[in-house]
């Protein structure tokens, strides 16, 4: 059980339209033995539960006044920190993938709604199908969820630097044609 917590308040980042994932993972990587993370956010960061759970952290979430959230991430005894599966499934070119069968524009949605909609859409598609989605930020929390479900992905910011396009190939993670 954590004997102390390092506090990280990502509410200013979120309110400015930023993505706090890098700051969160940076804080987690600097935790000492037995230390936990006290995270303050503008929404309940459900996708982060599985990301940090895979790194050996249990969580307790509580809503604060005004709709903000406090989450305590405690290291579980004997837990290891495996590498992110997201990096393994998002690096190759998608030029040999079939054309997308579904297109989504999630740029006007607040987190975690884009992720929720994309994951729901993947459930309705067949293996090998490709989904295309536009987002207003890099979907850092979505990527490990896609990998965990066996989907491959490719994504990058478009030329405007504001629109992130992701392609998701259903059930293709780890396959040669992925």
pLDDT tens by residue, 45-59: 887 887 888 788 999
Assigned CATH topology for domain 86-169: Translation Initiation Factor IF3 (3.30.110)
Mean pLDDT over each residue of the chain, to the nearest integer = 84
Residue 40 has pLDDT above 60, yes or no: yes
Give the start-to-end residue ranges of the domains of the chain: 4-75, 86-169
Residue 77 has pLDDT above 80, yes or no: no
- Cβ(170)–Cβ(149) below 8 Å: no
DSSP state string for 58-118: EEEEEE-GGG-EEEEEEEPTT---PPPSHHHHS-S--TTSPPPSEEEE-TTPPTTHHHHHH
Note whether 4-75 and 86-169 share their fold. Answer: yes
Instruction: Calculate mean pLDDT across residues 79-103.
Output: 62
d(CA 73, CA 157): 31
Architecture of domain 4-75: 2-Layer Sandwich (3.30)
- Identify the sign of the CA torsion 60, 42, 56, 90: positive
3-state secondary structure of 134: strand
Tell me how far apart the 2 most distant CA atoms of the chain are, in Å: 51
- Identify the sign of the CA torsion 47, 50, 53, 54: negative
Residue 114 burial by Cβ neighbours in a 10 Å radius (0-12, 13-18, 19+): buried
d(CA 163, CA 97): 21
Please indicate, yes or no, whether the overall pTM of this predicted structure exceeds 0.85.
no
Chain-centroid distance of CA 166 in Å reads 13
């Amino acid at each position: 059980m954590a004997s102390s917590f390092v506090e990280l308040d990502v509410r200013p980042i979120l309110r400015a339209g930023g993505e706090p994932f890098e700051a969160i993972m940076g804080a987690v990587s600097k935790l000492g033995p037995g230390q936990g993370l006290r995270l303050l956010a503008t929404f309940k960061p459900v996708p982060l539960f599985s990301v940090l759970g895979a790194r050996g952290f249990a969580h307790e979430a509580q809503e604060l006044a005004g709709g903000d959230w406090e989450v305590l991430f405690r290291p579980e005894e004997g837990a290891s920190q495996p590498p992110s599966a997201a990096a393994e499934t998002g690096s190759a070119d998608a030029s040999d993938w079939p054309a997308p069968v579904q297109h989504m524009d999630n740029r006007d949605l607040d987190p975690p709604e884009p992720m929720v909609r994309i994951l729901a859409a993947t459930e309705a598609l067949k293996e090998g199908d490709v989904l295309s989605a536009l987002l207003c930020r890099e979907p850092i929390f979505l990527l490990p969820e896609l990998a965990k479900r066996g989907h491959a992905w490719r994504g990058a910011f478009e030329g405007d630097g504001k629109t992130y396009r992701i392609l998701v190939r259903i059930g293709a993670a780890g396959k040669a044609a992925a």
